[in-house]
A = this chain, B = another copy of it.
Amino acid sequence: MKGKIILEEAFNLPRLAEEEAKQYASVHGALLLGKALADIEGRVAAMDEAGVEMQVLSLTSPGCQGVSDPVEAQKMAVESNNYIAEKVKANPSRFAAFAAVSMHDPKRAAEELSRAVIELGCVGVMLNDFQSSGLDGNTTLFYDNPSYDIFWATVEELDVLVYMHPRLASKTVFNELYRDRKWLQASAWGFANQLSIHILGIATSGVFDRFPGVQLAFGHMGEHIPFDLWRIDHKLDRDRFPDMQMAKNRTIRDYFATNMHITTSGHFSTRSLQGAIAELSTSRIMFSIDYPYEDGLMEGSSWFDGLPISQPDLLAIGRENALRLLKLNRAPHNLKPGLSLKELEVGGLGALLSFAFA
């Protein structure tokens, strides 16, 4: 399929890339990953090959959320937003960006988000789970705290997407739960374990009731949440939890029809996607890769293009939903909505012969 849009795709500031690369040195090879994170112009060829028209870029995790000093975190946000805005400006038909913000101070976060959206053209904001804070960096700030209402109010007013991305657990949680099984702390399990609490915290604290225009997305096929919706709602007994702020007559399932979206980043599983479609509908799911933490764009794109799902669903998940939600039809991106199966090279005898949609 041509014309795909992907939206959990990381970059790094060149000066940080080397550092970041070192952190994962033992994993993918530090230099390689660092180089991939820092390179933006060079991505276009792989996008062409994989049928990806647009990549929405964001500063790699934990970004500002990992900086416990408020001044440094704010500085990083401004630097990152200015930097990526220039990159997008150079090729707006292929790139867009999510803003980075320091979440130490909700009001300043809202201000930087406003600047990034209004002045720089960012189409949303990427939050990497909790904000590290405190002198030792071990304090954790969560955005379901009522003090963040000013941030959510600004999000609603700006009408842009908030994308929640995972990061490693705090030292305290790590020591208790992951120290003796380190391989579970990150993308295999702990990432979603941690982030899901934050997401459900936001929903159950009533953010979507107070700010009904807020749209929240998260990746990795929903961070464990879609497949447990019945049990979550069944167990959030209103009589049992009178302190829970969420509207009395609403359920987490309801919010998935009005305020929440998921992406396929790093989770190229046919059955999980089919399950997510059954729970949420294709209107709330968007294709994404998680580049460069996934090796290139082809593995995920090949999986997606050959999925046993309907053609209208392929178009919605692969392109239309993101185009509409991020308003990518507007200048300077100017993506075309409503392209046909033929224009996007979906279906036809070729698909049949290559066994796609089997």
Contacts and interface: CB of A to CB of B under 8 A. Distances in A.
Interface of A: 26-28, 140, 142, 144-145, 170, 172-173, 176-178, 180-184, 186-190, 192-194, 196-197, 200-201, 204-205, 220-221, 224, 226-241, 243-244, 248-251, 253-254, 256-258, 266-272, 274-275, 277-284, 299, 303, 308-313, 316, 341, 347-352, 355, 357-358
Given A254-B311, A281-B311, A188 B349 contact: no
Contacts of A181: 144, 197, 200-201, 204-205
**Lowest 10 A-B CB distances belong to which pairs?**
A230-B269, A188-B235, A281-B310, A227-B227, A281-B312, A275-B275, A183-B241, A270-B308, A257-B311, A187-B235
A299 B355 contact: yes
Given A268-B230, A299-B355, A197 B177 contact: yes
A352 B176 contact: no
22 contacts: A172-B173, A172-B176, A173-B177, A178-B197, A187-B231, A188-B232, A188-B235, A192-B228, A193-B196, A221-B231, A230-B267, A230-B271, A230-B358, A231-B266, A234-B266, A249-B349, A249-B350, A257-B311, A269-B308, A270-B308, A274-B278, A275-B278
Nearest to A315: B257
Contacts of A251: 347-349, 351-352
A189 to B, nearest CB: 6
- Name A's interface SS: helix
A254 B347 contact: yes
B282 A271 contact: no
